[in-house]
Structure 1
Amino acid sequence: MVYQGVLKKMMTENAEEIQYYLDMKSDFLNMNQLINKEIALSFVTYECLNCHLEKKIYRQGFCQSCFFDIPQAADWIMRPELSKAHLDEEDRDLAYEKKVQLQPHIVYLANSSNVKVGVTRKQQVPTRWIDQGAHEAIEIVEVPNRYLAGITEVTLKEHVADKTNWRKMLKNDIEDENLVEWRDRLKQYIPEEAMPYFIENNTETNLNFPVLKYPEKPKSLNIEKQKKYKGKLVGIKGQYLIFEDETVFNIRSNEGLVVSIEL
């Protein structure tokens, strides 16, 4: 069987073992069913996730012209502290910015390669943690807009990491941490504006990824350059496919590439 479509991040379901789904336009693949099977990946072309034209992907699945124009790629996406919709100020599209920014946001701690702080919309819990390959996570504050979450993250990342070491995460070179203790330890650094939204009593969420074998020395597949790859899928963690020969392929960072998958 051969499936072809433009890559978008895998959809997930937090079950006893996380379930992964890949939308290939006319087909919907449950990737868990492909674990322990050989699959072949081939690069076909490009398709911008916004304009859907066959244009080389610049960043985040968008062509260069879309990336610098659409609100989905504005700076506040990666740096929530730059959000301005709560001030009624437009960046690229005020209606879109109000829709996304003026809703409940979570500042959280997640442990994927180390304990890190992050921000996500409340409706993206626990999806965001799954995408980062975190095996445990906990909410710290729940605020009414993206700006408050952003300034809280900026303050907390002076005391805790805000990046994931993807190699360490994929090797499963991790230690369990008491995230409740981390939450309580960091409380003193929360900005005054966000302190009323501190979550006093909650427990950490644990996540179980479908991996038969973790790579000791993960090597990243550049399908755009290599064109073709074939290997046995032995696991999925975060947005990475893990193969038996220790090759790993990040679906999220390859959004906008049209590929074929042969089973």
Structure 2
Amino acid sequence: MVYTGVLTKMQTEFLEPIQYYLVFNNDFINVNQLINKTVSIKLIEHQCLGCGLDRPIYRQGFCRTCFFDKPMAGDWIMRPELSTAHLGKEDRDLEYEKNVQLQPHIVYLANSSNVKVGVTRKSQVPTRWIDQGAHEAIEIVEVPNRYLAGITEVALKDYVADKTNWRNMLKNDVKDEDLTEWRSKLKNYIPEEAKDYFIDNNSETHLHFPVEQYPEKPKSLNLNKSIKYQGKLVGIKGQYLIFEDNTVFNIRANEGLVVEIAM
């Protein structure tokens, strides 16, 4: 069986365990069904997610031109505190920015390699936690726009991490944490503008990933260098495919690559 298409982040279903799908233009793969099978991945070309041209991918699936032009690659994506749509101020495309920024956002605590704080649109819960490989998460604040979520995250990351150690996450080198207790400890550090949006009446969400074998020493696959790889798939966590020989392939980091997948 051979599938060809441009990589975009795997779509997911919050089930037991989480279900993963690679979606192409005319087909899709339920990746869970490939676990314990030999899979080959071959680079064919590049296809920018912005312009659709065969250009080297710069960041986030975009060629260099689109990364600096497209509204969906604005700095406020990675740094929500830079959002300005609530002020009516345009960054690259005000209508797009209003549509994304002026909707309910969640500030959350997640445990993937360590306890971290993060931001996501409410509509992306629990997808965001799945993408980060978190095995437990909890909401701490729900605010009406991205800016308020961003300044809350900035305030809290003085007291808790805002990054995931991807190697520890993949090795499953994590310990259970009481996120409800963490939330209580962090409450006093929430900015005044967001204090009224504090959440204290919900419990942790637990996530279970389809992994048969965790890598002891994860080594990242770079298709731009190796062009083709073949191995036995033994798990999926976050947006990573995990292979028996400790190779891991980050789908999200390779968006925009046109690949041939055979099994």
Q: TM-score range by the shorter chain?
A: over 0.9
Aligned equivalents of 1:240 and 1:223: distance in 2?
14
Query: Cα distance, 1:224 vs. partner?
Result: 1.2
Q: In the alignment, what sits opposite 1:80?
A: 80
Residue 34 of structure 2 aligns with an amino acid whose one-letter code is L
- Which residues of 2 match residues 94-113 of structure 1 at below 5 A? 94-113=94-113
2:158 paired with 1:168: no
Query: Cα distance, 1:25 vs. partner?
Result: 2.0
Query: Cα distance, 1:222 vs. partner?
Result: 0.4
- Which residues of 2 match residues 1-263 of structure 1 at below 5 A? 1-263=1-263
Query: Cα distance, 1:113 vs. partner?
Result: 0.1
Query: Cα distance, 1:50 vs. partner?
Result: 1.2
- Aligned residue for 2:69, secondary structure, equals coil
Aligned equivalents of 1:5 and 1:108: distance in 2?
33
- Aligned residue for 1:66, secondary structure, equals helix
- Aligned residue for 2:193, secondary structure, equals coil
Aligned equivalents of 1:111 and 1:11: distance in 2?
21
* CA-atom RMSD in angstroms: 0.5
Aligned equivalents of 2:242 and 2:203: distance in 1?
30
- Aligned residue for 1:58, secondary structure, equals coil
Query: Cα distance, 1:26 vs. partner?
Result: 1.8
Aligned equivalents of 2:27 and 2:242: distance in 1?
22
Aligned equivalents of 1:257 and 1:29: distance in 2?
16
- Aligned residue for 2:58, secondary structure, equals strand
Aligned equivalents of 1:124 and 1:19: distance in 2?
16
Aligned equivalents of 2:113 and 2:224: distance in 1?
27
Aligned equivalents of 2:31 and 2:24: distance in 1?
12
Residue 128 of structure 2 aligns with an amino acid whose one-letter code is R
- Aligned residue for 1:193, secondary structure, equals helix
Aligned equivalents of 2:142 and 2:111: distance in 1?
19
Query: Cα distance, 1:114 vs. partner?
Result: 0.1
Aligned equivalents of 2:56 and 2:26: distance in 1?
23
Aligned equivalents of 1:100 and 1:2: distance in 2?
36
Residue 114 of structure 2 aligns with an amino acid whose one-letter code is N
Aligned equivalents of 2:213 and 2:64: distance in 1?
37
Aligned equivalents of 1:26 and 1:92: distance in 2?
31
- Aligned residue for 1:224, secondary structure, equals helix
Aligned equivalents of 1:200 and 1:29: distance in 2?
39
Residue 48 of structure 1 aligns with an amino acid whose one-letter code is C
- Aligned residue for 2:98, secondary structure, equals helix
Query: Cα distance, 1:24 vs. partner?
Result: 2.4
- Aligned residue for 1:62, secondary structure, equals coil
- Long gaps (5+) in structure 2: none
Aligned equivalents of 1:200 and 1:206: distance in 2?
17
The runs of at least 4 aligned residues of structure 1 exceeding 3 Å deviation read none
The count of corresponding residues between Structure 1 and Structure 2 is 263
